[in-house]
A and B are shown apart, each in its own frame.
Chain A
Amino acid sequence: MIDRDQVLHVAKLARLRLSDEEVERMSGELSTILDHIETIGELDLTDVPPTSHVIEVENVLRPDEPRPSLPREKALEQAPATADDGFLVPSPAAHA
């Protein structure tokens, strides 16, 4: 069960604006899906290691050799807004 407040909180985390109608609908849909997902709870999973990697490979490392970067025009080409040779964005409200 996921209620309206939780939906709004998650939407904020995901930087998604949702209309009131979307929030309403999302709440119901997600609840239904989560109910199904929660059937996992029927299983006894103690001592079962989680799979974080499907393939058994380790130490895939790249030699520290430079290769050419993109020319700046190419890097900026797709940007919706640029200024001062960079990507223009509204200023964040606070320092990082």
Chain B
Amino acid sequence: MAAMTQQFGEHEYEPVIGLEIHVQLATKTKMFCGCALSFGEAPNTHTCPICLGHPGTLPVVNAEAVHFALMVAEALGCEVAPRSIFHRKNYFYPDLPKGYQISQYDIPIARNGRLGDVRIHRAHLEEDAAKLVHAGSSGRIHGAEASVVDFNRGGTPLIEIVTEPDIRSPQQAADWARLLRATLKATGVSDVNMEEGSLRVDGNISIRPVGQAEFGTKTELKNMNSFRFLERGLDAEIARQLEIVKGGGQVEQETLHFDPTTGALSSLRSKEEAHDYRYFPEPDLVPVAPTEEMLQRAKDALPELPTARAERFERDHSLPPDQARLLAFRGELGDYFEEALRTGGDGGDGAVEPTTLANWVTSELVARLGDAEPQDSKVEPAALAQLVGMVAGRQISRDAGKEVLDELAQSGGDPVAIVEERGLAMQGADELSGIVDRALEANPKAIEQFKAGKGKAIGAIVGFVMRETKGRADGGEVNRLIREKIGS
């Protein structure tokens, strides 16, 4: 991953980026009460006295949320705290019914991990806030702007993951975020859907001269809801900071919002409103001290994770590292590949080469997916494997193969049948050789010109062969045969 630096005067500046990720857990109930989680249900239909913050109510920790947190800790290679506690984070906002959020502060459940080339500083459990929606004309308070609070989401379990500031470019940030998403998706602890809000990514960015150990002042970029916007937002903020420093100014600590449509950055909070959260240990809850049994159960619940899968693809299928990662880090693509590999194993003319199949999956299939997921493609993995086998086995040309794939992507089906319907089968070697011979006989002048050094003359001969074969011959192979027979 190439870092990104920019030259200013004698200094080269590098960006220093850390990410803060909030993951909504896919448990059945909320973090501290038994209300079922809500997915766009009618407002305030998934609440109870506890998540509404009524007087006298008390929280009780969701066991499954703890289990999921231990799974995440394991997946991210973290140390699990032998004894972690909850803290109250105090501030006033309408989406926070108790006037404090129950979170974790200086003793989080997990610390000191790593995923790929980014270290994980910590991961902890907390509860989500409710939703605040602009009231519109149905509710104004004395003519002033009003908002409406829906507490359905309030209390949903969250895991907050904070990285070390190890990231050195917006692209690296987006790529790593995709890896994190793929990893968490594989664990099943969350839907990790950025548009729906079950995965939220904030970035902390500063710049400093290359070689300097101290960090510059960092700003926070909040709530970017796609990886592309994350990358663009970070790009914009780095540019803004560079401008300031170039002008001799100081970057101020602030929280910003990036508007992807205009590309503009706007300040969300001014400096004076920096919160004093007055953290103190939550007296209504007792510590979580994961037992050996809890830890083992979390380990056992983990499937093969993307980084391990990529390594396996490299090792067992001899895939080049970049391609292995491409397939492993996008879980569904990896699944598709493995399924195709499995079914293609006994498809006629010998097994398909994994590298060849991988190439077709990562280029040709992906190009025809658009926004759809691989498992939703009309191209069945077995069909692709068979198709790739037919091309590799020279039964059809590569171009014909692409044509078949187009058809499969449109309407599904069986590649063998499509090849037959469209008469795409390539000639056998003997038959092709015969046609080339006839072409050579028919184009003596072209042969002469070619031998005289005019390379393009071969085109006429190739054209003859292609007409004879109705375009089904493999262009490269025709070229080779002609040259071989001409003797050059």
Q: Do chains A and B touch in the complex (CB under 8 A)?
A: yes
User: Would you list which residues of chain B between 29 and 77 have a CB under 8 Å from chain A?
Assistant: 29, 34-36, 42-49, 52, 60-66
Query: Which of A62, A69, A89 lies in contact with B48, CB distance below 8 A?
Result: A69
Distance in angstroms between the alpha carbons of A27 and B113 in the assembled complex? 48
List which A34-90 residues lie within 8 A (CB) of chain B.
52-53, 55, 57-67, 69-72, 75-76, 81, 83-90
Smallest CB separation, B470 vs chain A (Å): 63
Q: Which A residues are CB-close (under 8 A) to B129?
A: 96
CA distance A54 to B93 in the complex (A): 31
Q: In the complex, are the beta carbons of A67 and B34 less than 8 A apart?
A: yes
Q: Output the nearest chain A residue to B60 by Cβ-Cβ distance.
A: A62
Tell me, yes or no, whether B276 is within 8 Å of chain A by CB: yes
Task: Assess the B35–A66 pair: CB atoms within 8 A.
Answer: yes
Contact present for B286 and A53 (CB under 8 Å) = yes
Which residues 131-161 of B have a CB within 8 angstroms of A?
Answer: 132-136, 138-139, 141, 144-151
**Complex interface bits, A8-27 against B, C-beta within 8 A gives 1, otherwise 0:** 00000101000000000000
Indicate if the CB atoms of B36 and A55 lie closer than 8 Å.
no
Q: Are B35 and A75 in contact, with the CB atoms below 8 A?
A: no
Looking at the complex, which one of A59, A76, A87 makes contact with B286 (CB distance below 8 Å)? A59
Cα A60 to Cα B289 with chains together (Å): 10
- Residues in B neighbouring A67, C-beta threshold 8 A: 34-35
Q: Which residues of B contact A15 (CB under 8 A)?
A: 92
> In the complex, are the beta carbons of B36 and A87 less than 8 A apart?
no
Q: Which residue of A lies closest to B59 (CB)?
A: A62
Q: In the assembly, what is the distance between CA of A55 and CA of B284, in Å?
A: 11
Which residues of the other chain, B, contact A87 by a CB distance below 8 angstroms? 44, 94, 148-149, 151
- Residue in A52, A55, A81 whose CB lies within 8 Å of B141: A81
Does A94 sit within 8 A of B, measured CB to CB?
Answer: yes
Q: Which residues from chain A contact B112 at a C-beta distance below 8 Å? A: none
A68 → B minimal CB distance (Å): 9
From A53, A57, A95, give the contact of B257 (CB < 8 A): A95
Size of chain B's interface in residues, with CB distance under 8 A? 59
Tell me how far the C-beta of B86 lies from the nearest C-beta in chain A, rounded to whole angstroms: 10
B-side contacts of A75, CB under 8 Å: 44-45, 47, 52, 151
Main secondary structure of the interface of A (DSSP, over half): loop
Instruction: Please measure, in the bound complex, the distance between the C-alpha atom of A76 and the C-alpha atom of B95, giving whole angstroms.
Output: 15
**A57 close to B48 (CB less than 8 A):** no
Contact B149 A72 (CB under 8 A): no
Tell me, yes or no, whether B297 is within 8 Å of chain A by CB: no
Report whether B43 and A72 are in contact in the complex, using a CB–CB cutoff of 8 Å: yes
Does chain A have a CB within 8 A of B228? no
Cβ contact within 8 Å between A61 and B66: yes
Residues of A within 8 A of B135 (CB): 83-84, 88, 91
For residue B273, which residues in chain A have a CB less than 8 angstroms away from its CB? 94
Partner of B138, one of A62, A84, A90: A84
- CB closest residue in chain A, given B147: A91
Is there an interface contact between B63 and A83, defined as CB atoms closer than 8 Å? no
CA A78 to CA B257, docked complex, whole Å = 36
Q: Which residues of A contact B65 (CB under 8 A)?
A: 64
Q: Which chain A residues border B136 with CB–CB below 8 Å?
A: 84
**Bound form: Cα–Cα A53–B95 in Å:** 28
Docked Cα-Cα span, A90 to B144, in Å, equals 7
Nearest CB in chain A to that of B38: its residue = A69
Q: Assuming A84-B148, A90-B146, A90-B147, is B281 touching A53 (CB within 8 A)? A: yes
Contact of A86 with B268 in the complex, beta carbons under 8 Å? no
B contact residues around A58 at 8 Å (CB): 83, 286-289
A62 touches B133 (CB 8 A): no
Indicate if B278 sits at the interface (CB-CB under 8 A). yes
> When the two chains form their complex, are residues B281 and A62 in contact, meaning their CB atoms are under 8 A apart?
no
Residues of A within 8 A of B66 (CB): 61
Contacts of A76 on B, CB cut-off 8 Å? 44
Q: Shortest Cβ distance from B129 into chain A, in angstroms? A: 8
| A83 engages B134 (CB within 8 Å) | no
Chosen A-B contacts, 22 in total, with CB atoms closer than 8 Å, are A57-B286, A59-B286, A59-B288, A59-B291, A60-B60, A61-B66, A64-B63, A64-B64, A65-B28, A66-B35, A69-B46, A69-B48, A70-B47, A72-B42, A84-B136, A87-B44, A87-B151, A88-B141, A89-B149, A90-B144, A91-B147, A96-B129
Interface residues of chain A, those whose CB is within 8 Å of chain B, are 13, 15, 52-53, 55, 57-67, 69-72, 75-76, 81, 83-92, 94-96
